[in-house]
Amino acid sequence: MSSASKISLAATSLFTAGVIVFVHFQQKADQAAMHAGVVRDMEQQRVKRERQLDFDMQRALEEEYKREQNVHSSLEPLDKASSTTPTR
């Protein structure tokens, strides 16, 4: 085998090995990035569930307080309130 063919074979082999190593490490990096994305998504879902539970609890408390107290909406006209005030 001539020296030019040996150099060509060695260069091709090194290039192929380099590509294989690069692809291997690139796949590991992509896998780590995907795992981080999954962890981030799971955390966002957990926070969303907690906020929804807090919202539901606040809504239930509001309903309970409305049942226990006479509360009127600030958007409703105060016709009833003004007609029940005593006049002198």
Question: Which tokens sit at 38?
Answer: 């999954």
Residue 69, in any domain of the structure: no
Residue 82, in any domain of the structure: no
d(CA 83, CA 88): 13
pTM to 2 decimal places = 0.50
Residues 8-20 have pLDDT tens digits of: 999 999 999 999 9
Report the number of distinct structural domains present in the chain: 1
Instruction: Domain of residue 43: give its range.
Output: 27-63
Strand ranges for 1-88 from DSSP E: none
Q: What is the mean pLDDT of residues 36-43?
A: 95
Question: What is the SS3 assignment for 3?
Answer: helix
Residue 37, in any domain of the structure: yes
Residue 59, in any domain of the structure: yes
Residue 78, in any domain of the structure: no
Angle, CA 8 vertex, CA 4 and CA 12 arms, to 5°: 175
Residue 35, in any domain of the structure: yes
Residue 80, in any domain of the structure: no
Residue 48, in any domain of the structure: yes
pLDDT band at 3 (very low <50, low <70, confident <90, very high): very high
Which DSSP letter does residue 31 get? H
